[in-house]
Amino acid sequence: MISKKGIMEKAIEADVKLVQLMFSDLLGGIKCVTIPVDRLGEAMEKGIWFDGSSIEGFARISESDMYLAPDESTFGVIPWKNGEGAIARIICDVHRPNGEPLEINPRYILKKAMEKAYKMGYEYMVGPELEFFLFPKNEEGVVRPKMHDGAGYFDFAPKDAAEDVRKDIVFGLQSLGIIVEASHHEVAPSQHEIDFKYGSAVSTADNAITFKYVVKSIAPKHGLFASFMPKPVFGENGSGMHVHQSLFDVKTGKNIFYDETDKHKLSKTAKHFIAGQLAHVKAMSAILAPTVNSYKRLVPGYEAPVNICWGQNNRSALIRIPRISPGRENSCRAELRCPDPSCNPYLAFAVMLYAGLEGIEKKMEIPAPLEEESAYDLCEEDRKKLHIETLPGSLQLALEELKKDTLFKEVLGEKFFKKYIEIKEEEWEEYNIQVTEWEMEKYFPHI
């Protein structure tokens, strides 16, 4: 890890003039306090004070004083802001005046989950795949979901009109220390995916919010708007955030999920972990798919998983186990396919980990895998025969499942649990009283 002195030397070498202190709110929005570089040393030593009551869900006005504590390992110079003095960014933890971490700060919640895993001898490794759309602005600068190209999965230029955009995004990510593994056009027109290397959950969540920041910053330089909305276009595939996950032994560094003797190459620990996630996934949905719009992606017919099942190399299953080639035992993993990029990655990884760890602690039994059948094609009668349930069909139903889940109420903390549900129920109620364009077209001319 780079030292405080090393960071200051790097800032001077890069001619940094301003530093953005970044952190995440409850819902995954990126917040920022910008300081002159000559205050960076003070920030790393003592923190920077701010008004926490202005951040959704953080604090009441009577307990608003908080400070940001920069995590030196996240320091990076923002490449596209170079000019007369560069700008750097650093991700921060949030603390109360007495020095204690803010218990409802999403990054702290994930750190607590990681501590629990570490005490059990595990390090939780994740690799998210964030999909997004690029839309052009009209002459007035207004953004509407109008397709930027007509390309499809893995198409390339000239059908793929955003090749140069993705190239600049990749360069931006690399400049901030994120290792990019692949970049390509996705299934829907104007839809894209850039994959970065998996890692320990906290640093990967840092990379995920940095990824969204970079994509949204680079797109306007090409006259485009980037959207991580799960389902921005009716009739097209939505954007997911599939998460590849595994547990590694903290002492040996070996992947605990792998077992050469098992048919699916999965250890008992891996099966218990998967069983825990399947048992809690209905409640997790309120955090993994946290918006009203999320449930317009999670419908049959658009390659989104809705049936609660698992299978090896079965992309229709909620949890897919990719096949492992010889010599790649450490790549054994379980891919959870229901999260979408509107989620807060810190919270998403935390609830996924807690659910899996409970499966291990209670030695939960994994159900039979879905091997040959496509989960996309299962009818209600098929699901009954196979004892397969479905994900909640709306944010409201997901919140009801979350409220019933005693595990998450305990591990997330009652204060966070209550505040998150309150915010999301208000969102659902606000949606319910809207008069939509669909209603106007369907009813207004005819009634």
Whole-number pLDDT of residue 203: 97
Residue 90's beta-bridge partner residues? 21
User: Is 315 among the catalytic positions?
Assistant: yes
pLDDT in tens, 19-48: 999 999 988 999 999 999 999 999 999 999
Q: Return contacts of 271-274, CB within 8 angstroms, 24+ apart.
A: 271/365, 271/366, 272/359, 272/360, 272/362, 272/363, 272/364, 272/366, 273/247, 273/334, 273/356, 273/357, 273/359, 273/360, 274/310, 274/319, 274/334, 274/356, 274/359, 274/366
Q: Evaluate whether residue 71 is within a structural domain.
A: yes
pLDDT in tens, 45-57: 999 988 777 676 6
User: Is 186 among the catalytic positions?
Assistant: yes
- CATH number, domain of 88, equals 3.10.20.70
Are both 361 and 388 inside the same structural domain? yes
Are both 373 and 407 inside the same structural domain? yes
- CATH number, domain of 141, equals 3.30.590.10
**Average pLDDT of each block of 10 consecutive residues along the chain (447 residues)?**
84 91 91 93 91 66 75 90 80 92 94 98 97 83 66 66 88 93 87 94 97 94 93 91 97 95 94 98 98 93 82 87 81 95 97 98 94 75 85 97 96 92 96 93 91
- Of the candidates 89, 185, 192, 242, the residue annotated as catalytic is 242
Q: Which of 100, 124, 146 is the last residue of a domain?
A: 100
The string of DSSP letters for 205-250 reads: HHHHHHHHHHHHHHGGGGTEEEE--S--STTS----EEEEEEEEET
- Of the candidates 51, 181, 262, 377, the residue annotated as catalytic is 51
Whole-number pLDDT of residue 62: 40
User: Is 129 among the catalytic positions?
Assistant: yes
Are both 148 and 43 inside the same structural domain? no
Q: Which of 70, 100, 130 is the last residue of a domain?
A: 100
Q: Evaluate whether residue 352 is within a structural domain.
A: yes
Share of the chain above pLDDT 90, in %: 66
* Burial class, 437, CB count within 10 angstroms (exposed 0-12 / middle 13-18 / buried 19+): exposed
pLDDT in tens, 400-439: 999 999 999 999 999 999 999 999 999 999 999 999 999 9
Q: Evaluate whether residue 447 is within a structural domain.
A: no
User: Is 242 among the catalytic positions?
Assistant: yes
Are both 57 and 125 inside the same structural domain? no
pLDDT in tens, 328-349: 888 899 999 999 999 999 999 9
pLDDT in tens, 309-322: 999 877 788 999 99
Q: Which residues contact 203 (CB under 8 A, 6 or more apart)?
A: 73
Residue for token digits 């360069």?
171
- Work out how many domains the chain is built from and give that number: 2
Are both 122 and 89 inside the same structural domain? no
Q: Evaluate whether residue 359 is within a structural domain.
A: yes
- Of the candidates 96, 184, 222, 315, the residue annotated as catalytic is 315
- Of the candidates 71, 89, 107, 131, the residue annotated as catalytic is 131
- Of the candidates 337, 358, 401, 405, the residue annotated as catalytic is 337
- Of the candidates 89, 95, 129, 264, the residue annotated as catalytic is 129
Whole-number pLDDT of residue 115: 98
User: Is 193 among the catalytic positions?
Assistant: yes
pTM exceeds cut of 0.85: yes
User: Is 72 among the catalytic positions?
Assistant: no
